[in-house]
Amino acid sequence: MKENRFMDVPACAEYIHLAKSTVYKMVSNKTIPFSKIGSRTLFDRVQIDQWVINGGVMEDRLPTLPGV
């Protein structure tokens, strides 16, 4: 079975082994990558994986221009 790329709060909490309340706090503090669609809070599995690899630090990467 294929895993969904996007997760809601309960699925994200289970995926990264944290309590749902902790994930809600991180969303409120904007310390975890998330998107809001209406009242839904969604997490991109790829961004969450990178966030975990970075030690829980969000990193905004700007594209680099070749040859600069």
pLDDT digits (tens, 9 = 90+) for 7-65: 999 999 999 999 999 999 999 999 999 999 999 999 999 999 999 998 888 776 666 77
Owning domain of residue 16 = 6-53
Identify whether 25 is part of a domain: yes
Q: How many domains does the chain have?
A: 1
pTM as predicted: 0.79
Identify whether 21 is part of a domain: yes
| 15 contacts 7 by C-beta, under 8 angstroms | yes
Identify whether 68 is part of a domain: no
HSE (CB half, 13 Å, CA atoms) of 11? 14
Identify whether 63 is part of a domain: no
Identify whether 20 is part of a domain: yes
Two tokens, residue 20: 């749902």
Identify whether 17 is part of a domain: yes
Of the pLDDT bands very low, low, confident and very high (cuts 50, 70, 90), residue 66 is confident
Cα 46 to Cα 14: distance, rounded to the nearest angstrom: 15
Name the amino acid, one letter, at 35: S
Two tokens, residue 28: 């409120």
